[in-house]
A and B are shown apart, each in its own frame.
Chain A
């Protein structure tokens, strides 16, 4: 299956907000509300930040929010902090013999 499409990189200054897009198709992102977002710092395992498009796991800052419109899901981080600098990946269920697909990842740089 094809990976979901994310921008390779985004950057912003501390305190600002950014949005990372994740574009799929009508077979994955557009069809189901099973979109998750992960944060990964270098050398670490991915950490779940958003699940089911909009939900935050317990312990995740409310500066992180998720949304979806059509075939595109988005992750918004407000009030950027230095520790937000990391790679971010989206993932979706797809009705297929290969039922989970990831985006290519977006490197967030906090200037």
Chain B
């Protein structure tokens, strides 16, 4: 069965950095794109970033562009989200989620359990 497991969350000061990981299993990882989606406490879902199956195309929300970098290692079935210059409004549960399509980008199907990022002094 499809499994996505996020890790790397924690407490960081404003301006700091954090690297999230998403370990995948149960499907042919190298054939599917992966999304990161976040949810601030008590708020709705916000799409953050997407990486194509081969890492060739990457997309970012305007709110994180220039600060966050998405990457993947298909040999380790893992996607990363490098988060720099963190702000208090980046505090959220971060989910990685699998895109069900191969050719196009679509909303995700399977989601991980999420990892909490808290940006606070």
Contacts and interface: CB of A to CB of B under 8 A. Distances in A.
Contacts of B62: 1, 98
A35 B107 CA distance: 7
A102 B95 contact: no
Given A100-B50, A103-B44, A91 B112 contact: no
Contacts, number: 68
Given A51-B100, A98-B61, A102-B45, A45 B107 contact: no
Contacts of A51: 100, 106-107, 109
Contact of A98 (B60, B95, B111, B112): B60
A97 B105 CA distance: 11
Given A101-B47, A105-B45, A45 B105 contact: no
Given A45-B111, A45-B114, A48-B109, A97 B45 contact: no
A93 B61 contact: no
Given A46-B111, A98-B61, A98-B62, A89 B44 contact: yes
Contacts of A98: 47, 59-62
B113 interface: yes
Given A3-B44, A45-B112, A102-B44, A36 B95 contact: no
Contact of A89 (B45, B60, B104): B45
A104 B44 CA distance: 6
Q: Of residues B44, B112, B114, which shows the largest number of chain A Cβ atoms within 10 Å of its Cβ?
A: B44
Contacts of B35: 100
A39 B35 CA distance: 18
Interface of B: 35, 37, 44-47, 50, 59-62, 95, 97, 100, 104-114
Interface of A: 1, 3, 34-36, 38, 45-48, 51-52, 57, 89, 91-93, 97-105
Given A35-B107, A92-B107, A93-B105, 16 more contacts: A1-B62, A38-B45, A45-B112, A45-B113, A46-B111, A51-B106, A51-B109, A89-B44, A98-B61, A98-B62, A99-B59, A100-B50, A100-B105, A101-B47, A102-B37, A105-B44
